[in-house]
Structure 1
Amino acid sequence: MANSDTDSTAEPTTELDDDAMAQFPVPAFDDLPADLRERIAEETEEAGFTPNVFSAFAYKPSHFRAFFAFHDALVEDTALEREEIEMIVVAVSGVNHCYYCNVAHGALVRIYAEDPHLADQLVANYRTADINDAHRTMLDVAVKLTERPTEVGPADLEALREAGFSEEAIWDIGAVTAYYNMERVIE
């Protein structure tokens, strides 16, 4: 995460965190290509800190560009509501023990779902969270895909269809789940 001045009114500083990855070096912000510096600075300004995933992917600029282009496609060209995407991220991150993602995406669940308690329920145990049956089915499949991907089959897809998800939404559930499982492996 980026360090910011102790003055709470100061703008956040764009700085890459050396602890973002344990096995590969994190480059200095000033050494990055201009397009990466611009994207990181925008995200830092919006979030108030530099998310670790930006520091991690800065190691390889071509992968950074592809990773964030895929992220943008997942949230912009989707049959899912944004709150559903964030619910998947939180459930998958809970399984993967990614505290960082649970906090960051939990905040987004609170915003998009307009529910101050939902993210905490999802982190604690999505199976007992106050969600509808369709969302529980969605998260059941996402978590199964995370924990036991070889066991996901036609019955799971049919359960999603019966819950009211379109073929495109089913694709998007799988794509969001896969993306956030990959992100956890990289960090």
Structure 2
Amino acid sequence: MSRIKVISYEESQGRLKEVYDDLIKSRGMLADVHMIQSLRPESIVKHMDLYMEIMFSRSELSRADREMIAVVVSVANKCDYCQTHHGEALNNYWKDKKKLEEFKAGYSKVGLAEKQIALCDYASKMTLHPGEAVEKDVVAPLKKNGYSDEAILDASLVVSYFNFVNRMVLGLGVHLENHAGAGFKY
């Protein structure tokens, strides 16, 4: 049960109904993370604009890389909702549920390339210890693994976005839907 009022699809009208309908059309269905913002429909629109830019725009980081970062951040924050949704998205690329579950338990133990481990380390450090971030500990390993400044910015945007969403989900009591993240357009 969420901790604030949420307007369901059935109760929606006007601008909120338009926003909900657009989400269903573009993403395949409506998620509770969208509906938690129902009291401010334009915040849903801006949220989705940010999400689409960060997660789907052209980047050196693959979609799988970005979903991998999303899962690392969500595991660090203990956000089951986002772990489930973005684990489902990551597995859309990996197609290996066992690897996904092992990844959630410890990303360094699933046979990722050094380059991917560097991304995961970055996501973990910037989530758990952002105040301790120094060049040699966070950015240098990414550069050593061939990531450009643009790719590092993209990684930072994904980390920042998921820290934002995890806190909204956890703070407002967003619960996992019955479909558990399955069925969205990834």
Bin the TM-score by the shorter chain: 0.7 to 0.9
Alignment match, 1:168:
150
Q: Of residues 37, 42, 64 in structure 1, which corresponds to 2:20?
A: 37
1:24-103 equivalent positions in 2, closer than 5 A: 24-29=4-9, 30-31=12-13, 33=15, 34-42=17-25, 46=28, 50-77=30-57, 78-103=59-84
Q: Of residues 118, 126, 145 in structure 2, which corresponds to 1:145?
A: 126
Does structure 1 conserve the Cα–Cα contact (< 8 Å) formed by 2:54 and 2:154?
Answer: yes
- Mapped to 2, the partners of 1:99 and 1:74 lie a distance apart of 21
Instruction: Note the C-alpha offset of 1:128.
Output: 1.7
| Structure 1 unmatched runs, 5+ | 1-18
- Mapped to 2, the partners of 1:171 and 1:142 lie a distance apart of 12
Q: Between Structure 1 and Structure 2, how many residues are aligned? A: 164
SS class of match (1:174): helix
Does structure 2 conserve the Cα–Cα contact (< 8 Å) formed by 1:141 and 1:152?
Answer: no
Instruction: Note the C-alpha offset of 1:27.
Output: 1.8
Q: Of residues 110, 118, 129 in structure 1, which corresponds to 2:110?
A: 129
Alignment match, 2:166:
184
Higher RCO by CA contacts (8 Å cutoff, separation 6 or greater): 2
Identity of aligned residues (%): 23
State the superposition RMSD in angstroms: 1.8
The one-letter code matched in structure 1 to 2:37 is F
The one-letter code matched in structure 2 to 1:176 is V
Instruction: Note the C-alpha offset of 1:32.
Output: 5.2
- Mapped to 1, the partners of 2:49 and 2:84 lie a distance apart of 23
Runs of 4+ in 1 over 4 A off after TM superposition: none
Does structure 2 conserve the Cα–Cα contact (< 8 Å) formed by 1:121 and 1:130?
Answer: no
Q: TM-score, normalised by structure 2?
A: 0.80
> Could you say if the C-alpha distance between residues 134 and 41 of structure 1 is closer, same or farther in structure 2, counting changes exceeding 3 Å?
same
| Structure 2 unmatched runs, 5+ | 170-186
Q: TM-score, normalised by structure 1?
A: 0.80
Instruction: Note the C-alpha offset of 1:68.
Output: 0.6
